[in-house]
Structure 1
Amino acid sequence: MKNLVFVGVFSLISTLSFSQVKKTVATAKPAVVSTGRNISITLTPYKNTWISLGSYYGKGKTLADSTFVDEKGHGVFKSKDKLTPGIYFVVSPQMSVLFDFLMDNKQQFSIVGDTAHKDQVVITGSPDNDLFKNYSQYSITKGKALSELNSAYQKATTKADSSRLRDEILKGNKELQAYRENFVKQHPTALLSVLFNAMKQPEAPAIPVINGKPDSLYPYRYVKDHFWDDTQFNDERLLRTPFFETKLDNYFKYYVVPDADTIYNEVKYILLQARTSKEMYAYLLTKFTNKYINPEFMGQDRVFLNLFENFYAKGDTTYLNAASRKMIFERAYSLMANQIGAQAPVLDLTDTTGKNVSLYNLDAKFTFVTFWDPTCGHCKEEIPRVDSIYKAKWKDLGVKVYSVIIKDDLLKELKTFLKDKRISSDWIEVYQTKEARAAEEAAGQPGYHQLYDVFKTPTFYLLDDKKRIIAKQLSLEQFDALIAAKLKK
């Protein structure tokens, strides 16, 4: 049976591990204020030691400040600058999370706590934390009750009991959500209201019947259209929560069609909304860059190229260090010429007899292009597998193999490998001579390593009869399935 319990997020925060804390101070640039922050803390039983202040930052955690507590366990987190508000926590000298609290906008309050009673921390001078404490107590109580109901639901032996318990669980979840909604109405400017709005996800409505036909896609469209209601992407406080980035990932996973153009349109909208916040904008641009620079699915690297062309190439590089900027630009240049659907870059290389053989002179329904090294361990496994599939299926289907050896000094190793592994003799085995490479460099022309993004071996491409790129970087099984699908179509 499915777990139906929806336990409040904040009631779980203090149980999280601090094993992934970044060892650097947060780089947030808070609003300029005259008073800054002055947060007094008395923490039993620590004496004459350092304790820290941490915050959530996307899916991770980061340190924001530290203070030395004296023999009475007293210290002060103090600075002329404020921290970006959000969910923060106190960190022990052993780097474990002790308890969480809200960093409000004023940041002039005191904390008194005892590690033996983490649920009895007293925060004075912060109305936001008063509200937070009330909610935490409610959500813990409600969460415990829902957990007990869920446990009973899992053990139910009759249909009647299952139905009754399920109704009680759903009722409890609705009560928890109603609490949050009422809180937002009563305290619209509270930090907790911002967090509640960011947490919530629209409930899918029932499938409507229109002109006698059910519209099965309506619930999906409704949730997608309302997924980000009341969420401002330029609000830096969202980065200081453990749920914003997870919600963002779920949106792209479940509600965005995994087509590169569709993804980019969503990414572009979010980035433009976030642009007035330097920190949020930089964080999201970096996140999307990292996700699509080496994407999970073939063809989605076009999202990264769109980001490069419309953001990085237009000057959005001020927050990058030199190494990051170099990596992003080089990666973009390596992907520009080998996008799915594009014409494959020209290859006019030398075969083992000294004859030039052009890729575009091959007449084939499909051309399988390989870039490999006969001394590469992975190549020694994969190339014989390519040959096995070629002999068993591809040759009869009109596939030809254009095999590029990436080093000009491995001809002896190549011939030995081909003989020992009994690789098909009708493969086109080619390489680039030193003279050809020198002429290419002298002319300032990009080499095939860049044009075909060859930075690991083996690298595979599948081309159609017009030498357009159909696929790249797939497994051999996926290439085989794609060829079969293309022929069937």
Structure 2
Amino acid sequence: MRSIIAFLLFAASFVSVTAQQKTPAKAPAKTPAATSAASKGRNISITLTPLKNTKVYLGSYMGKSMVLMDSAVLNDKSQGVFKGPNKLTGGIYFVVSPQMTIQFDLLMDDKQQFSISGDTALKQNAMITGSMENDLFRAYSQFSAVKGKKRQELEAAYHAATTKADSTRIAEELTVVGKEIQQYRDDITQKYPNTLLAMLFNTMKIPATPAIPVVKGKPDSLYPYRFVKDHYWDDVSFNDDRLLRTPFFEPKLDDYFKYYVSPEPDSIIQEVKYMLLTARTGKEIYPYLLTKFTNKYMTPEYMGQDKVFVYLFENFYAKGDTMLLNPASRKTITERAYFLMANQLGQPAPALDLTDTLGKTASLYNIKAPFTAVVFWDPNCGHCKEEIPRLDSLYKARWKKLNVAIYSVNIYENEIPAWKKFLREHKIEGWIQAYETKAAKEAGEKAGKANYRQLYDITKTPTMYLLDKDKKIIAKQLSLEQFDDLITAKLKASGQ
């Protein structure tokens, strides 16, 4: 289907919706009260042939998804009305058939008092009457259709060029076409800065990468990156709910965090803090962004980024924004935050004073070693049966020589025989082996103390942490190979 999106991306095909400049048939005179009431809500008439006596829908984008926002019943003349006391959030919308297929797109303006006319067999000829936003888009779509076709022809000629001179000439012509399209868009945003079309153009815009400047005789290779990052969100207001009703905003947001924001959690926190505080007055976009960032960093892609989730909990949810959640989500987010608070990178590891295989107290903080690996496991866990012997092999081959200590915790106090049998059969020696007795567990629960399962976020086995000489957490939830590489890198950085 040819659509608004294609034209906004400068495709050469013709637009799915054209705004008709005709004056609509004169309607019966309305009283001032009726006119005022209509202006507060939506009243969008639709004629969609040949459909009769059936329901059609009005849908919109919601980030990367699509949602249905309204419905209208067509009479035996294929006529109906999308009507309601409240206006819909502006953005890119589409008419949906009873079979749930998109017929054509349209721009939802602020007035929302216009008419749609179309035919399911001639989607490209759909017309909109009485909407300045769609009139502007019609003119733009006609312009971009011509320029898009020209650009396609030039691109084909460029690939077919046999000489450098021809390639250079065609490339210059392509540059001219691109500048003409951009100039048209710039003119729209300057003349009609508050229109939906201007907002769409601003949302899509990515700053052109500048040349590398020479500063004091040396090229500043990072300047292009800094320039694009600093201007990436020019003229985009994060509290504008209309951003969500486009398919452009969220992919652009994802690219920003992927290419222009350091994966280091403090850098991410600065970005999400600015965006959320700016978006806070947005009725739809604020909860959407808060939910998006919560989901992304509650189970992050990179180690340590769960610090962003903890920040969101402490600075937004814990300060009242749990009202945005249903009880189940509130419970999940709160519990997850409490499981992560005590084991952030750079923090001192929670104390462990457990019982060893001989019944004596084994204290984590009594260990004197440049690195301590803390591993929580279960002798009956299938994955543990594979990983624990691998860890022992790594310990015997490398870590023992580097004075790396291993504090090993059996997480089930009722599996002591199986635990000791596993250690004997695999000849695991040199580690500190410990567990929490049933009495110690019950005493902690009675005193209302957080147990080590919560403090160390043990939701699966094995779970492993790497601590430095001061018992600060420097890594968690990595593979054995990644832990080993990190130790090697740390030792190399310290000159050892």
Task: Give the TM-score normalised by the residue count of structure 1.
Answer: 0.89
- 1:399-410 mapped onto 2 (5 Å cutoff): 399-410=404-415
Residue 479 of structure 1 corresponds to which residue in structure 2?
A: 483
Tell me the SS of whatever aligns to 1:278: coil
Q: How many angstroms apart in 2 are the aligned matches of 1:310 and 1:400?
A: 37
Identical residues among aligned pairs (%): 63
* Conserved 8 A contact 2:60-2:92: yes
* Conserved 8 A contact 1:337-1:451: yes
Quote the offset at 1:240 in angstroms: 0.6
Residue 451 of structure 1 corresponds to which residue in structure 2?
A: 455
Q: How many angstroms apart in 2 are the aligned matches of 1:15 and 1:433?
A: 71
In terms of mean alpha carbon deviation, does 336-345 or 352-361 score higher? Answer: 352-361
In terms of mean alpha carbon deviation, does 275-284 or 450-459 score higher? Answer: 275-284
Q: How many angstroms apart in 1 are the aligned matches of 2:55 and 2:85?
A: 20
**May I ask how many residue pairs the two structures share in their alignment?**
468
- Residues 123 and 10 of structure 1, relative CA distance in 2, 3 Å threshold: farther
In terms of mean alpha carbon deviation, does 432-441 or 132-141 score higher? Answer: 132-141
Residue 34 of structure 2 corresponds to which residue in structure 1?
A: none
Tell me the SS of whatever aligns to 1:77: strand
Quote the offset at 1:399 in angstroms: 1.3
Q: How many angstroms apart in 2 are the aligned matches of 1:450 and 1:374?
A: 20
- Residues 152 and 382 of structure 1, relative CA distance in 2, 3 Å threshold: farther
Structure 2 portions without partners, runs of 5+: 1-5, 17-36
* Conserved 8 A contact 1:384-1:423: no
Residue 9 of structure 1 corresponds to which residue in structure 2?
A: 9
Tell me the SS of whatever aligns to 2:117: strand
2:123 alignment partner, one of 103, 118, 121: 118
Residue 22 of structure 1 corresponds to which residue in structure 2?
A: none
- Residues 14 and 160 of structure 1, relative CA distance in 2, 3 Å threshold: closer
1:168 equivalent to 2:181? Answer: no
- Residues 190 and 394 of structure 1, relative CA distance in 2, 3 Å threshold: same
1:71 alignment partner, one of 52, 69, 76: 76
* Conserved 8 A contact 2:14-2:124: no
In terms of mean alpha carbon deviation, does 312-321 or 51-60 score higher? Answer: 312-321
Q: How many angstroms apart in 1 are the aligned matches of 2:263 and 2:314?
A: 20
Residue 238 of structure 1 corresponds to which residue in structure 2?
A: 243
* Conserved 8 A contact 1:37-1:107: yes
1:229 equivalent to 2:234? Answer: yes
Residue 290 of structure 1 corresponds to which residue in structure 2?
A: 295
Tell me the SS of whatever aligns to 2:408: strand
1:310 equivalent to 2:298? Answer: no
In terms of mean alpha carbon deviation, does 180-189 or 238-247 score higher? Answer: 180-189
TM-superposition CA deviations, 1:326-355 (whole Å, max 9, x none): 222211111111111111101111223322
- Residues 254 and 435 of structure 1, relative CA distance in 2, 3 Å threshold: same
1:427 equivalent to 2:434? Answer: no
Q: How many angstroms apart in 2 are the aligned matches of 1:177 and 1:198?
A: 14
TM-superposition CA deviations, 1:128-158 (whole Å, max 9, x none): 1111222233334433443443344445554
- Residues 430 and 203 of structure 1, relative CA distance in 2, 3 Å threshold: same
Give the aligned residue type for 1:108.
Answer: Q
Tell me the SS of whatever aligns to 2:323: coil
Quote the offset at 1:376 in angstroms: 2.1
Give the aligned residue type for 2:258.
Answer: K
Give the aligned residue type for 1:273.
Answer: T
1:196 alignment partner, one of 190, 201, 211: 201
Tell me the SS of whatever aligns to 1:192: helix
Q: How many angstroms apart in 1 are the aligned matches of 2:458 and 2:408?
A: 13
Residue 272 of structure 1 corresponds to which residue in structure 2?
A: 277
- 1:281-430 mapped onto 2 (5 Å cutoff): 281-420=286-425, 422-430=426-434
* Conserved 8 A contact 2:212-2:219: yes
Quote the offset at 1:216 in angstroms: 2.1
Give the aligned residue type for 2:406.
Answer: V
- Residues 278 and 423 of structure 1, relative CA distance in 2, 3 Å threshold: farther
Quote the offset at 1:219 in angstroms: 1.8
Tell me the SS of whatever aligns to 2:345: coil
Quote the offset at 1:213 in angstroms: 2.3
TM-superposition CA deviations, 1:94-126 (whole Å, max 9, x none): 322221110111111111112222221111111
* Conserved 8 A contact 1:34-1:80: no
Residue 49 of structure 1 corresponds to which residue in structure 2?
A: 54
- Residues 142 and 451 of structure 1, relative CA distance in 2, 3 Å threshold: same
When Rg is computed on C-alpha atoms for both structures, the one with the higher figure is 2
Q: How many angstroms apart in 2 are the aligned matches of 1:162 and 1:456?
A: 59
Give the aligned residue type for 2:438.
Answer: K
In terms of mean alpha carbon deviation, does 63-72 or 109-118 score higher? Answer: 63-72
Q: How many angstroms apart in 2 are the aligned matches of 1:117 and 1:141?
A: 21
* Conserved 8 A contact 2:12-2:146: no
Give the aligned residue type for 2:133.
Answer: D
* Conserved 8 A contact 1:204-1:219: yes
Q: How many angstroms apart in 2 are the aligned matches of 1:86 and 1:413?
A: 62
Q: How many angstroms apart in 2 are the aligned matches of 1:483 and 1:436?
A: 33
Structure 1 portions without partners, runs of 5+: 1-5, 17-31
* Conserved 8 A contact 1:7-1:146: no
Quote the offset at 1:378 in angstroms: 2.3
* Conserved 8 A contact 1:344-1:463: yes
Quote the offset at 1:161 in angstroms: 4.0
Q: How many angstroms apart in 2 are the aligned matches of 1:374 and 1:137?
A: 70
Quote the offset at 1:206 in angstroms: 1.7
- Residues 155 and 363 of structure 1, relative CA distance in 2, 3 Å threshold: farther
Give the aligned residue type for 1:425.
Answer: E
Q: How many angstroms apart in 2 are the aligned matches of 1:8 and 1:275?
A: 28
Residue 29 of structure 1 corresponds to which residue in structure 2?
A: none
* Conserved 8 A contact 1:11-1:136: no
Residue 137 of structure 1 corresponds to which residue in structure 2?
A: 142
Tell me the SS of whatever aligns to 2:460: coil
Residue 22 of structure 2 corresponds to which residue in structure 1?
A: none
Tell me the SS of whatever aligns to 2:338: helix
Q: How many angstroms apart in 1 are the aligned matches of 2:415 and 2:13?
A: 57
Give the aligned residue type for 2:479.
Answer: S
Q: How many angstroms apart in 2 are the aligned matches of 1:348 and 1:465?
A: 17
Q: How many angstroms apart in 2 are the aligned matches of 1:161 and 1:410?
A: 78
Quote the offset at 1:191 in angstroms: 1.5
Residue 45 of structure 2 corresponds to which residue in structure 1?
A: 40
- Residues 433 and 147 of structure 1, relative CA distance in 2, 3 Å threshold: farther
Residue 3 of structure 1 corresponds to which residue in structure 2?
A: none
- Residues 401 and 117 of structure 1, relative CA distance in 2, 3 Å threshold: same
- Residues 157 and 482 of structure 1, relative CA distance in 2, 3 Å threshold: farther
Tell me the SS of whatever aligns to 1:396: coil
Quote the offset at 1:87 in angstroms: 0.7
Q: How many angstroms apart in 2 are the aligned matches of 1:33 and 1:303?
A: 45
Give the aligned residue type for 1:99.
Answer: F
- Residues 10 and 98 of structure 1, relative CA distance in 2, 3 Å threshold: farther
Quote the offset at 1:275 in angstroms: 1.5
1:211 alignment partner, one of 213, 216, 226: 216
Tell me the SS of whatever aligns to 2:114: strand
